[in-house]
């Protein structure tokens, strides 16, 4: 029996990463009108779609 997927997720940046990523997040949130959670969801979907598209592009026709 599989354990149900959690609806919660916590992300912690390393000390040196935080000064880089947090300002990027806020700039993108302002530009796109998204919450932090929405921004991460959008980024995950975009990365997934790009990977899927690259797999399709590699299949010879």
| Whole-number Cα distances in Å, 35 to 38, 46, 48, 53, 59 | 5, 16, 20, 27, 37
How sure is the predictor about 51, in pLDDT bands with cuts at 50, 70 and 90? Answer: confident
Say how far apart CA 18 and CA 42 lie, in whole Å.
20
Give the global pTM: 0.77
Per-residue pLDDT tens digits for 10-45: 999 999 999 999 999 999 999 999 999 999 999 999
């Amino acid at each position: 029996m599989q354990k149900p997927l959690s609806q919660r997720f916590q992300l912690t940046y390393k000390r040196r990463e935080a000064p880089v990523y947090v300002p990027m997040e806020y700039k993108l949130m302002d530009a796109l009108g998204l919450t932090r959670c929405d921004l991460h969801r959008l980024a995950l979907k975009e990365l997934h779609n790009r990977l899927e598209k690259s797999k399709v592009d590699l299949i010879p026709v």
